[in-house]
């Protein structure tokens, strides 16, 4: 019989988990065992602390459902999601960088035409966000689909409103022959991540800001190119330097210029003041 001691338990557990049939699973699990054991040793984890951690995980599971992903949120605020994004999307420096997907993307957003309004029926300052989608050589990418989504003026996505079932503030725009796209929406605001769960409880015991700067999400999936999941952030927005999910990058910060009523980039006319932002997305070939 092998006697278990404080000194040999890590080796014994690693040996066991090394038996996983899939070699990658064996690599992941043995490294995980080594690192969590090292963590427990380093902080001299007490039983009360360990139990509090188990209860925290249970609560995170209980609050999660098809509309709420507390574990993803935990990964986001720990910086783990963004680390995984950066390691797995090492694009050419000239390509548009990737950021976190976040928990609020959904499939099946409505298809809209060039400059059609994805904020129909909602009040806010009109925003025209337009530019091109190009490759690294500067060639336009026609027929590319931009899946776009953003939070409303209360800083909430529709899944966070119990009384809203239909898609809101999200749409798919297809690039024209010249690679051009034009999104018509309302200006986004910074917002707080959900603070009513175990992630919020932990953050509330720190000096961490629980806000994200004003942004619009994009998912651009074009055959022959790396799928691009990213956001654009408003220049000068609050929280750019303290984004709670570490998602901001200088290359993704764009100017929102104030415009007087008059012609808009889609060929129409605005009868109220509006905002214009320009951004050219550059895709990384596969």
* Binding positions for ligand BEZ, rule: CB under 6 A: 73, 76, 100, 102-104, 193, 212, 245
Task: Give the integer Cα–Cα distance in Å for 161 and 251.
Answer: 32
Kindly calculate the radius of gyration of the chain based on its CA atoms and give it in whole angstroms.
23
Q: Which C-beta is closer to ligand BEZ: that of 72 or that of 182?
A: 72
CA angle 234, 116, 114 (to 5 degrees): 90
Nearer residue to ligand BEZ within complex by CB, 30 or 81: 81
Of the pair 4, 106, the CB lying nearest ligand BEZ is at 106
Which residues contact residue 55 at a Cβ distance below 8 angstroms, ignoring those fewer than 6 apart? Answer: none
Q: Where are the alpha helices (DSSP H) in the chain?
A: 9-17, 23-43, 47-63, 70-77, 80-88, 198-203
User: In this structure, what token pair is assigned to residue 156?
Assistant: 């909430």
Q: How far is the CB of 104 from ligand BEZ (least distance, A)?
A: 4
Long-range contacts of 233-242 (CB under 8 A, 24+ apart): 234/187, 234/188, 234/277, 237/190, 237/213, 238/190, 238/211, 238/213, 238/214, 239/190, 239/209, 239/211, 239/212, 239/213, 240/213, 242/209, 242/211
| Pairing assessment for the beta strands 274-278 and 126-134 based on DSSP bridges | parallel
* Rounded least distance, CB 54 to ligand BEZ, Å: 24
Nearer to ligand BEZ, 17 or 281 (CB): 281
Least distance in angstroms from the C-beta of 244 to ligand BEZ: 8
Q: Which one, 98 or 141, has the nearer CB to ligand BEZ?
A: 98
Q: Please, what is the minimum distance in Å from the beta carbon of residue 169 to ligand BEZ? A: 11
Q: How far is the CB of 203 from ligand BEZ (least distance, A)?
A: 12
Q: How far is the CB of 212 from ligand BEZ (least distance, A)?
A: 5
- 130 vs 212, beta carbon nearer ligand BEZ: 212
């Amino acid at each position: 019989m092998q006697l278990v001691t404080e000194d040999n338990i890590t080796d014994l557990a690693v040996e066991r988990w090394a038996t996983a049939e899939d070699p990658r699973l064996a690599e992941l699990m043995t490294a995980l065992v080594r690192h969590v054991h090292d963590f427990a040793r380093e902080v001299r984890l007490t039983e009360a602390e360990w139990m509090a951690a188990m209860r925290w995980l249970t609560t995170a599971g209980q609050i999660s459902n098809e509309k709420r992903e507390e574990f993803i949120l935990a990964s986001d605020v720990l910086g783990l999601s963004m680390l995984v994004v950066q390691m797995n999307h090492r694009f050419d420096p000239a390509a548009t960088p990737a950021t976190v997907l976040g928990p609020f993307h959904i499939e099946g957003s409505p298809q809209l035409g060039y400059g059609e309004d994805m904020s129909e029926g909602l009040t806010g300052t009109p925003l025209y966000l337009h530019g091109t989608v190009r490759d690294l050589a500067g060639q336009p990418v026609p027929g590319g689909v931009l899946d776009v989504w953003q939070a409303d003026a209360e800083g909430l996505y529709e899944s966070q409103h119990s009384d809203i079932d239909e898609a809101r503030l999200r749409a798919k725009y297809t690039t024209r022959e010249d690679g051009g796209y034009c999104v018509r929406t309302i200006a986004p605001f910074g917002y707080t991540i959900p603070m009513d769960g175990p992630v919020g409880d932990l953050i509330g015991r720190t000096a961490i800001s629980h806000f994200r700067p004003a942004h619009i999400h994009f998912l651009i999936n074009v055959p022959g190119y790396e799928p691009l999941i990213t956001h654009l952030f408003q220049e000068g927005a609050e929280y750019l330097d303290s984004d709670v999910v570490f998602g901001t990058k200088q290359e993704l910060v764009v100017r929102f210029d104030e415009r007087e009523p008059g012609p808009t980039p889609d060929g129409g006319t605005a009868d109220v003041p509006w905002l214009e932002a320009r951004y050219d997305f550059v895709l990384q070939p596969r």
